[in-house]
Every structure is written in structure tokens, then in C-alpha cells.
Amino acid sequence: MRILVTGSNGLLGQKLSELLEQDPSVELIATAARPAALPVNRAKFHLLDITDADAVDRIVDEVKPDVIINTAAMTQVDQCETQREACWKANVLAVENLVNASRRNNVHLIHVSTDFIFDGTKELLDENAVPNPVNYYGESKLAGEKVVLQSDISWSILRTVLVFGVTRDMSRSNIVLWVKKSLEQGKTIQVVNDQWRTPTLAEDLAMGCYLAAKKKAKGIFNISGKDYLSAYNIAIRTAEFFNLDKSLIKETDSIKFTQPAKRPPRTGFIVDKARKELGYEPHSFEEGLKVLASQLH
């Protein structure tokens, strides 16, 4: 099976590339807009800006993958709010390019989406929950989903929540690494207690993508962690795991924070469908911290 991964330099892209390389039955084609962040041993690597329709057509026509896994996106929520044109280009127009290339080459497209398409007014969400984004990032990701949903290609949409993990080349941090680093430096941090998520280990999300690709599973799947935690809980558990000073973590709420983009308060996922149909089984949050810790040393 030939699998093309977009955004292979990102946290998910790197984990997914490493996972796919372990399967001798998979030929990996890694792509990213910048030179490869890590050596992909068996993979072919192509520079690819998926917002460039001609470039997408050229690579997909040449490689003829069986599956494309789209992990590329503009995900900085506040940046999406203030740079709307760039956000739409990355999260919607790029998806149109991938759909068109997939249609012409009979490719199964797996598109990674987000919990931020929801307004956060319900506790735990399954795949039938009704989207209602509260920020522009969520609007763009929902529009990207609709491009896939309304297409006539073979597709899966994998929605995820608050991904954490570590790679050799971390261009961006995530909540666990931010908490750990801040506390190690003796910094006091303010963490909200009114935003709840099911935080997702990057390896688990990569496995969800892999399982969906191997089965060419069709439809929408929630792929997240299984523990439903507030951001404050996440910070406390991270401090406890790494034996750091919890007293530096100050509990607050989102009303006291001024950010360009509003956040949905509660977006935990139910992953029963992925368990049943894909064989997906996520780590607990503590198990995820163990995986992350083993990679830091």
C-alpha cells in the first residue's frame, strides 16, 4: 500500500511517518512545505505546499498513492482568528486541492479534523454531534470537512482533541511540554479550570490514522484520549508525574484570559466507534506521559 502523508514535519506527521515506516507492506511518501525535519528511511520525501493546486496534482499524479493522509493545517487558533485569509487557504482551499487530486487518481483521502468545530456546550461528543464553531479556526476546519463530506471520493474524517507529544524537532510546544518546562524553570503559571478536553497522545492519533488507512475505513471517527480532564487537571497531573512543584500552578478561569479567539468550554470525545470499527485503543493520560517521558531521555 502506497500512503502519501501531508504535513510530515508536524508532531502528528512525524509520529505517523515513523509508524508507517515500521510496516514493510507500506510505501511511505512523506511531504511537507519545508525540508524534512527527520530522516525518513524508506520513504520518499517531496516538498509540497498543498495550497498550490498544480503542485498537488503533479505529485499525486506522479506518485499515485492508494491513500492520502492529510495532517497539514493551520492550527494556531489565535493566528487563524487574525490571519483569516491564510487560515482559509490552508484549511479549506488546500483540502479542495487534495479532494480533486484524489478524485482523478481514485485515492482514499483521510482528513484530520478537530474538536474545535463544536461550541463546547455538551459534555462528551460522538460522531453525530452537531458542529457549531465559536472561532474562525473551527469555522475553517468545518468548511474543510464539508469539502470532503460533499465530495464523491472515498474518504474518512478523523476528529481529534488537544494533541500532545514530543519529537526531535519541536517547532511548537503543547500543553504538557509547556507545563513541564515552565515548572522546571520555577515559573508560576495560570491554568484554566473551565475548559475540558480528552487530551490525545500523538502516537495514538498516528495509530488511528494508520488503522483507518489500512482498512480504507469510510466515515467520521473520533480519535482522542480516553480521560476527560480540565486544563488545570492536565497541568496538575503533569506536575505530579514529573515530580514538579504543583504550587506554581494557579487555578483560574477563561473569563480572566483575553485571547483573540474564543475557546469552546467542553469538547471531550467518545471513541467507541473507532474502538469497534478500527480496533483503536488509546492510552490513558498517565500512560501517555510515560511514553512522552521515555522519549525525553
Is pLDDT of 172 > 70? no
Q: What is the mean pLDDT of the chain?
A: 96
CA dihedral (210, 212, 216, 218) in degrees, to 10, reads: -160
Q: What is the pLDDT of residue 168?
A: 73
Point out the least confidently predicted range of 3-17, 25-39, 165-179: 165-179
Is pLDDT of 160 > 80? yes
DSSP 151: S
Cell representation of residue 2: 502506497
Q: What is the pLDDT of residue 41?
A: 75
Mean pLDDT on 247-270: 93
SS3 124: strand
Q: Would you put residue 221 in left (φ > 0), alpha (ψ -120 to 50) or beta?
A: beta
Q: What is the pLDDT of residue 259?
A: 87
Identify any residues that bridge with 160 across adjacent strands, giving them in sequence order: 114
The domains of the chain, with CATH numbers, are 2-167+200-226+268-282 (3.40.50.720)
Nearest to 156 by CA among 68, 222, 218, 69: 218
Q: What is the pLDDT of residue 115?
A: 98
79 alpha carbon, distance to own chain's centre = 17
Amino acid 133 reads P
Instruction: Give the number of other Cβ atoms within 10 Å of residue 164's Cβ.
Output: 24
Is pLDDT of 297 > 90? no
Q: What is the pLDDT of residue 181?
A: 94
Place of cell 473551565: 194
Mean pLDDT on 11-24: 96
Place of cell 476527560: 228
Q: What is the pLDDT of residue 123?
A: 87
Summarize pLDDT for 93-140 with one digit per residue, the tens: 999 999 999 999 999 999 999 999 999 999 899 999 999 999 999 999
CA–CA gap between residue 177 and residue 206 (Å, rounded):
19
H or E stretch including 90?
none
pTM of structure: 0.97
Q: Are 108 and 102 in contact (CB under 8 A)?
A: yes
Summarize pLDDT for 227-256 with one digit per residue, the tens: 999 999 999 999 999 999 999 999 999 988
Q: What is the pLDDT of residue 239?
A: 98
